[in-house]
Structure 1
Amino acid sequence: MVVDGTDQKVSSLQRDVPDIKDAVRAGAMSQPSAASSLEATDQVFHNRCELINRIEDASLRDLLDGLQKPTSDMPPVIKGRERNEVLQKHSVTEDQVTCLVDMVWKKGKRACERFLSLLKEVEPGLCEELGL
């Protein structure tokens, strides 16, 4: 036994399915892929040794200052306590940079993006050499 209108509803749904699939595909295509969302963290990770060896004390302090300030779309990446950890637990600049790079990397994509953005301001030559 067929209920009145059921055939029309099924037919209507069958017509809509391709449109829904297309909309889902279009939405998926416009979203960043997993690889691009990891790009900033990958850049920090892959350039870690160069950053540690080449960021100087003055640049380190500029980075710390910038990471401590909120932006319009993001709270501060590091807190005052974390800044003190970087500067006071380590006396050698390379160790301080190591601490900062690892700290930022552990905080994820947005923190790494902010770090790289600031690094481009304070060390443009280094960023160009490293392809950042």
Structure 2
Amino acid sequence: MDQKLSQVRNEFVARVSKPVISQLLDDLLEDKVLNEEEKDSVKEENNARAEQARCLIDMVRKKGPQASKKMIGRVQERDSVLYESLGLE
């Protein structure tokens, strides 16, 4: 699964919206994929939307296949159009 995120990384960074990034951060915190500090660092250390997206996807990929699988599921819930366009099905 983390390989799947690697394959769609550039497209995810280009297409994901800032509101969806915020929702994903909340979801992944709830799923215990991210902790509070990681969530805050994505938001506070990266001003631009693309930088936040890049930081988020890289952080999750480094956590392994289970974390990647949870993120993919949350992308499907939050933005089905993005999910389909990335070919994550």
TM-score range, shorter chain: over 0.9
User: Once the two structures are aligned, what percentage of the paired residues are identical?
Assistant: 30
Rg comparison, structure with higher value: 1
Q: TM-score, normalised by structure 2?
A: 0.96
Separation in structure 2 between the aligned mates of residue 67 and residue 125 of structure 1, nearest angstrom: 20
Aligned length: 88
Separation in structure 2 between the aligned mates of residue 117 and residue 102 of structure 1, nearest angstrom: 16
1:55 maps to what in 2? 16
Could you tell me how far 1:126 is from its partner in structure 2? 1.3
**For 2:63, which of 97, 100, 107 is the aligned residue?**
107
Extract unaligned runs of 5+ from structure 2. Answer: none
Residues 18, 49 of structure 2: 8 Å contact kept = yes
Q: Does 1:127 align with 2:83?
A: yes
Q: Deviations over 1:86-124 (max 9, x none)?
A: 000010010011000000000000000000000001110
* Segments ≥4 residues shifted beyond 4 Å: none
Extract unaligned runs of 5+ from structure 1. Answer: 1-39, 71-75
Higher RCO (CA-CA < 8 Å; seq separation 6+)? 2
